[in-house]
Chain A
Amino acid sequence: MEKDTGLLLYRNMLLIRMSEERLAQSRQAGLVHGACHTYVGEEAVATGVCAHLNQDDMVFSTHRGHGHALAKGVSPFEVMAELYGRETGCSHGRGGSMHLFKPEVGLMGTSGIVGPCILQAAGAGYTFKLLGKPNVAVAFFGDGASNNGAFHEGVNLAAIYKLPVLFVCENNLYATEVPASYSSGNPDIYQRAIGYGIPGVKVDGNDAWEMFLAAGEAVRRARAGEGPTLIEAKTYRTRAHSEGMRDVGYRTQEEVEAWKARDPIKMLRDRLLSDHTVDEDDIDNIHNDVTARVTDDHQRAADSPWPKGSDALSHVYFEGA
């Protein structure tokens, strides 16, 4: 593994992890006013995919979207400020956790509705093809979303039009508390690709390097005009479905512990150290950097001004020139 790539993946995963741990604390402290679905345990997926994306490539995300936003280049400050309901948030306090928008860096939205991101990514793929742009669109969604009609319609449309799209299913084994094995006729979601005539790839979603490689090939295909790819990342969320929700009764402690032992950040760290790509100092430096960054961003977000009530009706329709 190249040192630069290894360190980039490591830094970005850690930034997501530490930002969300901060958000979880902030929620307990009453700073987060609405829902907060963390991505803890799944960081390798967004990180591995987004490492291949340029700013004008587009990401369409879900209710569990902090990681996608951060990996696509939205700052922890803007994400935190948004969850704190502040004017400085990436959606100016209009959206909160499930409506993070920063089209300037290609984060086309997280969503409170499960499914539509799959269709919208296909739509961005259509734009790229129509206007002859070299870009790709990515939809991140869960195992639960893969049983929604949007999945079938969106993947099929992208397949028949050969659109430059990555469909990245984050199979964390549960939709809220419902096991994927209960709600999917075949819980190996990647195998559905056969039904649409496109490649379907199964990846260890806790292995950042594997994710990076699989996404690299899918992005290459997309940019080369070869059409979409379905990637199923087998992964796990180690916190509750949503912060503050009870997290018992539907999965065993042993299962949670087994996945914690496969923590994606720890796995990458061990790998980077054991094959001597990096040394302890490199890792420590990143930890220091990221800790300082997240602490500072949190403080600035918490100190940010509230939006003005009189702005609540702006942007319902187009207002600009």
Chain B
Amino acid sequence: MKEQTYTVAAREALDEEMARDPRIFVMGEGIGKRGGNFNTTLGLYEKYGPLRLCDTPIAERGFIGLAVGAAMSGSIPVIDFMMVDFILDAMGEIINQMAKMQYMSSGRLRMPMVLRGCIGIGGAAATHHSGSYYSTFSNIPGLRVIVPTTPADVKGMFRTALRGNDPVIMLEHKNLLSNKGLVPEEDYTTPFGQARIARAGKHVTAVGVALTVQKCVQAAEVLAKQGIEVEVIDPRSTSPLDIATILQSVKKTGRLMIVDDAFEPCGFGAEVSAQVGAYGFDDLDAPIRRLSGAFAPTPYSPPLEQEIVPSVETITKALYDLVKE
């Protein structure tokens, strides 16, 4: 094991996979010599050159559409989009083309490609740099949506994405990028659709996504002092979703709260509740609760911004209340 930041672990996965497989290339703004806005490709241009670290104009729809054609024809493109908000212009290419291409070609075309970049509210980034959208993408058949939270997971899951055949959207919460963690030395992969128990507990189950996994763990630490043991589950991918692990946990705890930063209506929490309601109804001792980002564009000013996302305090209180219900 070695200690690495999230960013470095992801970059190492990319570097090693690019060395293994000449079909992989990266496209994005400033990902060449500059090494990426978030250092995602630092040092790779010198190693792999301009054709494999391809700097693009500010044309997200264009280069994502191009990458679709590249995947269709035998390359493995990685789109480094900085902030997920920037690829909304490419939704048609993502949903109508990238996600549906294998189906439309009745399985004859493979679509190995990765769209990766940041999500998340924080740092007064305001509403065009704070999107999450994992629920939106998870609503689309044909896409894999992964939300790794630890350095070890981002490395293992990025590898899985680059060795797979389906289009993957890898969303990296910006407040996790400098987190450090232990990463195995060996060549490992982390499968999609397998949740991780971030902390074991027996009184209540908390399912987080991206940064809220960390916040749920922090809330669990507070509650542990009061004798409440929270089981925190990190689904790691929202599509496919490992509902089995969540159901197992609810069987034990009887109580479920889903905590996520994204918009609540028709969202991730709604999906988890529907499935647990359908398949784990008899195990529930209380109604399923959700704690989500406010249903509003993200405000800029720090006091406003803090108001609209679940915090460790609000999560702690909500979990406490749920246990007492």
A residues in contact (CB < 8 Å) with B: 58, 60, 91-92, 94-95, 99, 101, 103-104, 108-109, 112-113, 116, 118-131, 137, 149-150, 152-154, 156-157, 160-161, 314-320
A320 engages B97 (CB within 8 Å): no
A130 touches B166 (CB 8 A): no
Query: Are B109 and A129 in touch, CB under 8 angstroms?
Result: no
Scoring A154, A156, A319 by chain B CB atoms within 10 A of each residue's CB, the highest score goes to: A154
Q: State which of A95, A120, A130 has its C-beta within 8 Å of the C-beta of B51.
A: A130
Contact B97 A101, beta carbon cutoff 8 Å: no
Contact assessment for B106 and A119 in the assembled complex, using a CB-CB cutoff below 8 Å: no
B25 touching A116, Cβ below 8 Å: no
Q: For the complex, what is the distance from the CA of A316 to the CA of B54, rounded to whole Å?
A: 29
- Decide: A156 near B57, CB < 8 A? Known: A116-B97, A123-B66, A127-B75: yes
* Residues A113 and B104 in contact, CB atoms below 8 Å apart: no
- Chain A residues contacting B59 (CB-CB under 8 Å) are 153, 156-157
Interface range on chain B: under 10, 10 to 19, 20 to 34, or 35 or more?
Answer: 35 or more
CB within 8 Å of A: which B54-82 residues: 54, 56-57, 59, 61-75, 77
CA distance A124 to B74 in the complex (A): 8
- Which residues of B (184-224) have their CB < 8 Å from a CB of A? none
A154 and B164 in contact, given A315-B103, A316-B102 (Cβ under 8 angstroms): no
Add 14 more A-B contacts to A103-B108, A121-B69, A130-B23 (CB < 8 A): A91-B104, A91-B106, A109-B72, A119-B62, A122-B66, A123-B66, A124-B72, A124-B73, A127-B75, A150-B62, A161-B54, A317-B144, A317-B166, A318-B102
* B-side contacts of A122, CB under 8 Å: 62, 65-66, 69
Taking a contact as CB atoms under 8 Å apart, the answer to whether B69 and A126 are in contact is yes
> Which of B25, B62, B97 makes the CB contact (< 8 A) with A157?
B62
Q: Do residues B102 and A116 form an inter-chain contact, with CB atoms below 8 A?
A: no
Docked complex Cα distance between A182 and B256 (Å) = 58
Task: Kindly report which residue of chain A lies nearest to residue B22, judged by CB atoms.
Answer: A131
Given A94-B106, A101-B105, also A126-B75 (CB < 8 A): yes
How far apart are the CA atoms of A95 and B59 in the complex, in Å?
29
B54 to chain A, nearest CB (A): 7
The answer for the CA separation of A122 and B97 in the assembled complex, in Å, is: 14
Contacts A131-B22, A156-B57; A126 near B70 (Cβ below 8 A)? yes
B310 to A: closest C-beta gap in Å:
32
Partner of A119, one of B25, B52, B66, B104: B66
Of the candidates A60, A99, A150, which one forms a contact with B104 in the assembled complex, judged by CB atoms under 8 Å apart? A99
**B173 CB–A CB distance under 8 Å:** no
Cβ contacts under 8 Å, A91 to chain B: 104-106
Is B92 part of the contact surface with A, judged by Cβ < 8 Å? yes
Does A317 lie within 8 Å of B63, measured CB to CB? no
Contacts of B314 in A (CB 8 A): none
**Residues A124 and B69 in contact in the complex (CB < 8 Å), given A94-B106, A103-B108:** yes
Q: Quick check: B67 and A95 within 8 Å, CB to CB?
A: no
CB distance from A307 to the nearest CB of B (A): 10
In the assembled complex, the Cα of A319 lies from the Cα of B72 at a distance in Å of: 16
Specify which chain B residues have a CB less than 8 angstroms from the CB of A92 in the assembled complex.
Answer: 106
Of chain B, the residue at the smallest CB distance from A110 is B104
1/0 contact string of B74-104 vs chain A (CB within 8 Å): 1101000000000000001100110001111
Is A120 a contact partner of B66 (Cβ separation < 8 A)? yes
**B116 near A: Cβ within 8 Å?**
no
B265 within 8 A of A: no
Q: Which of A60, A95, A153, A315 makes the CB contact (< 8 A) with B69?
A: A60
Q: Is the CB of A123 within 8 A of B108?
A: no
A104-B108, A120-B68, A130-B23 are contacts. A137–B62 as well, Cβ < 8 Å? no
* Nearest A residue to B60, CB-CB: A153
Give the shortest distance, in Å, between B172 (CB) and chain A (any CB): 23
Contact check, A119 vs B107: say whether CB atoms are below 8 A apart. no
Shortest Cβ gap from B203 to chain A (Å): 37
Interface assignment of B142: CB less than 8 Å from any CB of chain A? yes
Chain A residues whose CB sits within 8 angstroms of the CB of B57 once the complex forms: 153, 156-157, 160
Q: For residue B52, which residues in chain A have a CB less than 8 angstroms away from its CB?
A: 130
Question: Is the beta-carbon distance between A127 and B73 smaller than 8 angstroms?
Answer: yes
Which residues of chain A have C-beta atoms less than 8 A from B65's C-beta? 116, 118-120, 122-123, 150, 153-154
* Residue pair B104, A154 in contact (C-beta under 8 Å): no
B165 interfacial contact with A, CB 8 Å? yes
B174 within 8 A of A: no
- CB-CB under 8 A for A120 and B69, given A130-B75, A160-B57: yes
Q: Which A residues are CB-close (under 8 A) to B106?
A: 91-92, 94, 101, 314-315
B123 beta carbon closer than 8 Å to chain A: no
18 contacts between A and B (CB under 8 A): A91-B104, A103-B105, A108-B73, A108-B109, A109-B104, A116-B65, A120-B68, A122-B66, A122-B69, A123-B66, A157-B62, A316-B103, A316-B141, A317-B102, A317-B142, A317-B166, A318-B107, A318-B165
Contact of A123 among B73, B103, B110 (CB under 8 A): B73
What residue in chain A is nearest B165 (Cβ atoms)? Answer: A318
Tell me whether B96 and A113 are in contact (CB under 8 A).
yes
In whole angstroms, how far apart are the Cα atoms of A108 and B105 in the complex? 8
Whether B75 lies near A94 (C-beta < 8 A) is no
Determine if B141 and A103 form an interchain contact, defined as CB atoms under 8 angstroms apart.
no
Binary A-proximity of B133-150 (CB < 8 A = 1, otherwise 0): 000000001101000000
A130-B25 in contact (CB<8A): yes
* Min CB gap B239→A, angstroms: 10
Find the A residue at minimum CB distance from B101: A109
* Residues in A whose Cβ lies below 8 Å from that of B74: 127, 131
Q: Which residues of B contact A137 (CB under 8 A)?
A: 69, 73
Once bound together, how far apart are the Cα atoms of A110 and B25, in whole Å?
26
